[in-house]
Amino acid sequence: MTPKPPRLRILHLHSSFNPGGKEVRSVQLINAFGRACEHAIISAMPGAIGAARAIGPGIAVDLAVDFPALQGRPTPARLQRLARAMQGYDLVLTYNFGAMDAVMAHTIFGAAMALPPLVHHEDGFNEDEAHRLKPTRNWYRRIALGRASALVVPSRRLEAIALGQWHQPRARVNRIVNGIATAAYAGKPRRDALPRVIKRDGELWLGTLAGLKPVKNLTRLVRAFAALPEPWQLVIVGEGPDREAIRDEALRLNLGHRVHLPGFVAEPAKIIGLFDLFALSSDSEQFPISVVEAMAAGLAVAATDVGDVAAMLVAENLPFLVAPADEAGLAAALRALADDAPLRGAVGAANRALARVQYDEATMIAAYRGVYAKALGLATFP
């Protein structure tokens, strides 16, 4: 009997591994690679590992690795400790600026310590860089990425930033759009599919999927929602530090009975079909998976015009995008779609058709396999 090849050992270094766009995609890939790989997942925020709940059974995952802190002053001694901790793996995957010290450590000490190849992923910016990138961080990224095998970004805007402001060579930068299992979003969920919230007869739901954090600006969505008439309910699916701020804003506007925060849902395909309209209120995004999920579920989208959102949606949906600061415009877009069910249906159907053609996860997974295989010098990736 031919012995099985050893499993690839992959180290993931995240700023946080609580549920969000990049974490959902990371879990998609981990599940797709199956038992051919084993994974060590580090979160810079202690205990922020909620996305791991969606990792499939039987996949080898270590969430308790003794690893140096990803945050701190980038002194030579600390960077050396980070580099040493990467030894023994076959591939290192880093995510966003929160892991950039590890990328720098790999660039400085990689050759001397014979470290495995590193692929860095940039998915966007938090509120501190939502409106303007920090020059010192641009400089730091530019140097730290000097010996990365690849840089992966999901959006055209990030691709332009990587090539321009971060001075990355064209051969290193890979734009891979986020994808999902689009067919899974076709069904109609049960009315009680969400925890703690049941859709009742006569209700219409404006919904969103988001980490509850400042850059998502969900208090803006609460205020924009206030213009919708009584049958409409606002359902915000996700977890995060802004939960109380969202609840307080709903209470301030006397909307507490119409704004629902059911928490994190591991399988959004099983609930997003309960929504009648989707909204995104972020100050900054790149290629939000939540918008792809809404499209696959056949929903029209009212959103702030951030990142690649305008390029993602069908032409019929573009009139309902507004500048991030235009709160009144977002309220008007929501009202226009809420008041016109045939329009919502037509825009949603066109979004679904486009999502199935362009944003299915099979295409995304194949592209990631190619990048990781090239980094490892393999013909194929498991």
CATH number at residue 331: 3.40.50.2000
pLDDT band with cut points at 50, 70 and 90 for residue 382: confident
Instruction: Write down the pLDDT at residue 130.
Output: 62
Whether 326 is in a domain gets the answer: yes
Question: Among candidates 331, 332, 289, which has minimal Cα distance to 312?
Answer: 289
Q: Which domain does 103 fall in, by range?
A: 8-179+361-376
Give pairs for 351-354: CB < 8 Å, separation 24+. Answer: 351/294, 351/295, 351/298, 351/299, 351/300, 351/301, 351/313, 351/314, 351/317, 352/185, 352/295, 352/296, 352/297, 352/298, 353/314, 354/295, 354/313, 354/314
Q: Residue 2 pLDDT > 60, yes or no?
A: no
Q: Residue 6 pLDDT > 90, yes or no?
A: no
Instruction: Write down the pLDDT at residue 135.
Output: 92
Q: Residue 216 pLDDT > 70, yes or no?
A: yes
In whole angstroms, what is the distance from residue 250 CA to residue 256 CA? 5
Residues 298 and 372 in one domain: no
Q: How far apart are the first and last CA of the chain?
A: 20
Q: Residue 247 pLDDT > 70, yes or no?
A: yes
In a 10 Å sphere around its CB, with 0-12 CB exposed, 13-18 middle and 19+ buried, how is residue 57 labelled?
Answer: exposed
Residues 155-166 pLDDT 10s: 999 999 999 999
Sheet containing 301-304: which strands, arranged edge to edge? 259-263, 232-237, 204-209, 277-280, 301-304, 321-322
Between these two residues, 48 and 144, which has the higher pLDDT value? 144
Q: Residue 1 pLDDT > 70, yes or no?
A: no
Q: Residue 128 pLDDT > 90, yes or no?
A: no
Residues 198 and 342 in one domain: yes
Instruction: Write down the pLDDT at residue 5.
Output: 66
Residues 131 and 273 in one domain: no
Structurally, the chain folds into a number of domains equal to 2
Residues 114 and 258 in one domain: no
Q: What is the mean pLDDT of residues 297-306?
A: 97
Q: Residue 3 pLDDT > 70, yes or no?
A: no
Report the share of the chain in percent with pLDDT over 70: 97
Report the share of the chain in percent with pLDDT over 90: 87
Instruction: Write down the pLDDT at residue 121.
Output: 98
Q: Residue 127 pLDDT > 90, yes or no?
A: no
Instruction: Write down the pLDDT at residue 20.
Output: 81
Residues 134 and 221 in one domain: no
Between these two residues, 382 and 110, which has the higher pLDDT value? 110
Residues 332 and 368 in one domain: no
Instruction: Write down the pLDDT at residue 373.
Output: 98
Instruction: Return the structure tokens found at 215.
Output: 């850059």
Instruction: Write down the pLDDT at residue 49.
Output: 92
Q: Residue 4 pLDDT > 80, yes or no?
A: no
Q: What is the mean pLDDT of residues 298-307?
A: 97
Whether 3 is in a domain gets the answer: no
pLDDT band with cut points at 50, 70 and 90 for residue 133: confident
